[in-house]
Amino acid sequence: MNFTKAKVALVFDWMTNQGGAEKVNLVLHKMFPKAPIYTSVYNSKKLKGFEKANIHTSFIQNLPFAKSKHQLYLSLMPYAYELFDLSKYDIVISSSHACSKGVITKPETLHVCYCHTPMRYAWDNWQTYIDEYKMNPVLKFIGKNKIHKLRMWDRLAADRVDKYIANSNTTKQRINKYYHQDSEIIYPMIKHSEFEIAEKRKGYFLAVGRLAPYKKFDLIVETFNTIGLPLKIVGTGIMAEELQKNAKDNIEFLGYVNDETLKKLYSECEALIFPQVEDFGIIPLEAMASGRPVIALEAGGALDTIIPNKTGIFFKKQTVKDLGLAVEKYLENKRKFNTQFIREHAKQFDEKIFEQKLMSFLEKEWTAHQSSM
């Protein structure tokens, strides 16, 4: 069968909030607009861009608080994804950092998983992830006891995928370690042309993201409390109240901002602060597309996107001292950072390049899959 005639289905973990994975999912939907989407939960009020999509949700959709607190039903998600009937599709593309790769497909179907990371709360420092997460201690206790079963299911479900795509070298290594599978790297994307360089910086540093424990906004706040430089924080999350309580007057919390406001904030900032370990990290790319360098932890996906001392500055440990010294290093050398070079560097992660590489990969694997049948 010709690739263009193949019936395609998309499978996503959940569709309840905007993030890096959701940006990839939106591009997948644009690439395959007729492909139905299967997901555990969909909140149309929180996630835009899928208004015309044919979306199939699981039974979890109708459970209490599912649209706002899908994490409560993580233990049910393996069952939910196994219930989906995908027997009529030739190609299934799952976009997964949790359970969506666990769908069951027939042997004739090619299942390609775009993996953002193996499930981080089941593998890779999962104890710290749960301990730091702000939730009821009883729920934490129950969660720790259920993680073992979830991990066993995740390992079995991983073998249902025919081909893996990793979003970074870090994710590629994790797929190999936890799932014993090889993968091809196709980096996530930005719309490069939508960002621009402002004529003047406004003197503030910027941090953007969900205010969740592993994002290390507490480290950012403590560091800028110490060094006293102006900082703007964009984002909402469970740590918002605590962070605002601990922050000094030089730190401003902007909450949720629209895309146009965020682009302006990127373009006018001194640099982006990015102290967490991310599987990839689209936010640094958006800052670099705006000509601004990134001060980042030397780990995770940042290693794939940042050129040391040209498009950003790395620091080695998640401590106030290390981050503070990195900010100081930036201030001493900021005239050496070429805004046009930084912006041009980010161009290699443009959405069009992502689409070309993904489509080429799918066509190649579909041809090979057909030949093996």
**Among the listed residues 279, 301, 277, the one whose alpha carbon sits nearest the alpha carbon of residue 288:** 301
For the CA atoms of the chain, what is the radius of gyration?
21
Per-residue pLDDT of the chain (373 residues; tens, 9 = 90+): 778 899 999 999 999 988 889 999 999 999 999 999 999 999 999 899 999 999 999 999 999 999 988 888 988 999 999 999 999 999 999 999 999 999 999 999 999 999 999 987 777 754 555 555 555 554 444 455 668 788 899 999 999 999 999 999 999 999 999 999 999 999 999 999 999 999 899 999 999 999 989 899 999 999 999 999 999 999 998 899 999 999 999 999 999 999 999 999 999 999 999 999 999 999 999 999 999 999 999 999 999 999 999 999 999 999 999 999 999 999 999 999 999 999 999 999 999 999 999 999 999 999 999 988 7
- The verdict on 135 and 203 lying in the same domain is no
Residue 105: give its domain's CATH number: 3.40.50.2000
Distance CA 373, CA 369 (A): 7
Domain that holds residue 281: 192-349
- The verdict on 174 and 31 lying in the same domain is yes
Which run of H or E residues covers position 132? Answer: helix 126-132
- The verdict on 53 and 184 lying in the same domain is yes
pTM of the model: 0.89
Q: How many domains does the chain have?
A: 2
- The verdict on 234 and 291 lying in the same domain is yes
- The verdict on 292 and 360 lying in the same domain is no
- The verdict on 171 and 203 lying in the same domain is no
- The verdict on 357 and 295 lying in the same domain is no
What interhelical angle do 20-31 and 351-372 show, nearest 10? Answer: 60
- The verdict on 124 and 201 lying in the same domain is no
- The verdict on 169 and 209 lying in the same domain is no
Residue 11, sorted as left (phi over 0), alpha (psi -120 to 50) or beta, turns out to be beta
Look-up of token digits 């009020």: 45
- The verdict on 214 and 66 lying in the same domain is no
Cα–chain-centroid distance for residue 199?
30
- The verdict on 89 and 201 lying in the same domain is no
Distance CA 323, CA 220 (A): 8
- The verdict on 89 and 158 lying in the same domain is yes
